[in-house]
Chains A and B, each alone.
Chain A
Amino acid sequence: MSNTPTDLRYAKSHEWVRDEGDGTVTVGITEHAQELLGDLVFVDLPEVGAQLEAGGDCAVVESVKAASDVYSPVTGEVTEVNEALDGAPETINEDAFGDGWIFKVKLDDAGELDNLLDADAYNALVAEEDH
């Protein structure tokens, strides 16, 4: 799992979170998650302005194999969604940690980020699930 960026935080349900340092975070699904899902064909984005709860489902990613919920790793308000995914869901397959981001959230409580996993802990989780 050499391609798990160390500057991100991770949820057990395979989302990543990037702290933008201004009270907002960017959220996507991990490289491992996109690999499991296979070629994505559809992404159902949350609404801008929607209030998310940590652990609540807020988006759907659909591949030819499966439709899977995306859970918000944090509590807060959606400030922006990646509209480009509408026409090009494969961006997540191609660049899960970059252009394949899904939505941005204004945090209610920045302390919540401490509940998330770091890259090492996430890699350990993936290794264990793979067992």
Chain B
Amino acid sequence: MIYEQSRSGRQATAQTNFEMPALPDIPQELLREQPAGLPEVSEMQAVRHYTRLSQKNFSIDTHFYPLGSCTMKYNPRACNSLASLPGFLSRHPLAPDTHSQGFMACMHELQEILKHVTGMHAVSLSPAAGAQGEFAGVAMIRAYHDARGDDARTEILVPDAAHGTNPASAVMCGYKAREIPTGQDGDIDLEALKEVLGPQTAGIMLTNPSTVGVFERRIKEIAGLVHDAGGLLYYDGANLNAILGKVRPGDMGFDVIHMNLHKTFSTPHGGGGPGAGPVGVSQRLEPYLPVPMVDFDGSDYVWLTEKERSDTIGRLSAFAGNAGVLLRAYVYARLLGREGMHRVAEFSSLNANYLLKRLMEAGFDAAYPERRASHEFILTLKKQAKELGVNTMDFAKRMLDYGVHAPTTYFPLLVPECLLVEPTETEAKEDLDDFVEIMKTIKQEAETQPELVKQAPHTMPVRRLDDVRAARELDLAWKGQE
């Protein structure tokens, strides 16, 4: 903790004599009585502290990071540097349109690119993160049914393998989430779907390829069934990377999609920071898109607001989403072009399938061995857990010792001892081969000296954390030294 280095009176500008300026303009009753309790350190201490912390990071810049479902691919530096051009950085969101034509042109083009690559009728960029995009998407489904006076629709269907955000978004919009099971082959259980569809169905939320890492083969049939029941189809863009430019959600029959730009379009993975979750819709949902959007009237780029779009579900933030994040996605899309997007889908799938085959040859069990993987796949370490007493978490922790960020563990929940692996398209064959060797080594360790694996990691700044105690006795605030 940087607070532990704090010494009263120490300043960043240690060598300069720095006096607090007087604040005569601020009324006495508005001044704080106690100092803010910030750490008092020198500039150098601050630099060292944060540099050391950053060196403890597992990051894509330093480690292979096959965290399934998160698409931890490499973000080209150009996206960052071009989005940081002074003209973009200095633009004020309240500046008149005439001063923002360049920025607005980029946003308009991004809307068009996302529209084409997803096959949707229109796109709004304004949701400030994937979760907000989901909320906006379900809110539009609600607006559509409400506008038709179809208020008996109370349920949103969600597969049991779905991301937890899906049922959460449905509930936030006042719906009841109803679970539908996944069949043995990884596809949705169609018979179970037919049973729960009805006049109460507002829609279904799907990811395709699904969370179990396979392409939902009967998507057309599912779309037909849901539409016949009067429901709409929601596409969670979590796994868009696998099909980019190859198959379009709009062509599969989806009515609304949110895109996680940090996964597919190379914007920073948030950790709570600024994000972007644009939404695309079919023709019938177009009136409800969140504002503002950018339009081109033949000579100028203009904002579309509540004035022009009276049926909109409204604004989701003060301005047009997170401009800097959207710009990065725009640069990335332009760098790739149409051909590049195809290659993203091809190589993310190729890498995943190569890795899956090699790991199966090495004696690991695939959760869906008869299925071709999409951009990610699931191993089940059930056998190792049962026979060797070494479970998925032990494998995951041991990987850290070998310089690999662990894949996603224990998600989706329906696969026991689950390891969800997503290598992404930006890894070279040699890196994939290295990972196979590491997995083989850990497997051998598990067979011959299981304790070594069960007590891993051995080389990290911290060993196994007591996550049960951490969850039961939440302690989130540093309260000073005792």
Contact = CB atoms under 8 A, between A and B. Distances in A.
Nearest to A38: B468
Contacts of B164: 67
Contacts of A36: 416
B472 interface: yes
Contact of A42 (B413, B467, B471): B471
A68 B471 contact: no
Contacts of B467: 64
Contacts of A39: 468
B472 A65 contact: no
B410 interface: yes
B263 to A, nearest CB: 22
Interface in A71-104: 89-90
A68 B413 CA distance: 9
A29 to B, nearest CB: 15
A41 B410 CA distance: 16
Contacts of A67: 164
A67 B165 CA distance: 13
Nearest to A69: B179
A101 B334 CA distance: 58
A40 to B, nearest CB: 9
B471 A66 contact: no
A71 to B, nearest CB: 10
A89 B472 CA distance: 9
A41 B413 contact: no
Interface in A8-53: 36, 39, 41-42
A125 B413 CA distance: 18
Contact of A64 (B413, B416, B471): B471
A66 B467 CA distance: 13
Contacts of A65: 410, 413
B157 to A, nearest CB: 15
A30 to B, nearest CB: 16
A15 B114 CA distance: 46
Nearest to B167: A69
A110 to B, nearest CB: 27
Contacts of A90: 472
Contacts of A66: 410, 413
Contacts of B468: 39, 41, 64
Interface of A is mostly: mixed
A65, A66, A89: most-surrounded residue (chain B CB, <10 A): A65
Contacts of A42: 471
Contacts of A89: 472
B410 to A, nearest CB: 5
A92 to B, nearest CB: 13
Contacts of B413: 65-66, 68
A68 B410 CA distance: 13
A41 B164 CA distance: 18
A90 B472 CA distance: 10
A41 B473 CA distance: 9
Contacts of A68: 413
B381 to A, nearest CB: 14
Contacts of B472: 41, 89-90
A39 B413 CA distance: 15
Interface string B347-364: 000000000000000000
A78 to B, nearest CB: 19
Contacts of B416: 36
A36, A39, A67: most-surrounded residue (chain B CB, <10 A): A39
Nearest to A62: B471
B413, B416, B472: most-surrounded residue (chain A CB, <10 A): B472
Contacts of A64: 467-468, 471
A83 B65 CA distance: 42
Contacts of B471: 41-42, 64
A41 to B, nearest CB: 4
B477 to A, nearest CB: 19
A39 B467 CA distance: 10
A89 B413 CA distance: 20
Nearest to A57: B179
A127 to B, nearest CB: 13
A66 B409 CA distance: 11
A42 B467 CA distance: 13
A56 to B, nearest CB: 10
Interface in B445-478: 467-468, 471-472
A61 B410 CA distance: 16
Nearest to B468: A39
A90 B467 CA distance: 14
Nearest to B418: A65
Nearest to A68: B413
A64 B472 CA distance: 10
A31 B414 CA distance: 18
A127 B296 CA distance: 63
A6 to B, nearest CB: 26
Interface of A: 36, 39, 41-42, 64-68, 89-90
12 contacts: A36-B416, A39-B468, A41-B468, A41-B471, A41-B472, A42-B471, A64-B467, A65-B410, A66-B410, A67-B164, A89-B472, A90-B472
Interface of B: 164, 410, 413, 416, 467-468, 471-472
Sorted nearest first, the 3 A-B pairs with minimum C-beta distance are A41-B471, A39-B468, A65-B410
Given A41-B471, A42-B471, A64-B471, 14 more contacts: A36-B416, A39-B468, A41-B468, A41-B472, A64-B467, A64-B468, A65-B410, A65-B413, A66-B410, A66-B413, A67-B164, A68-B413, A89-B472, A90-B472
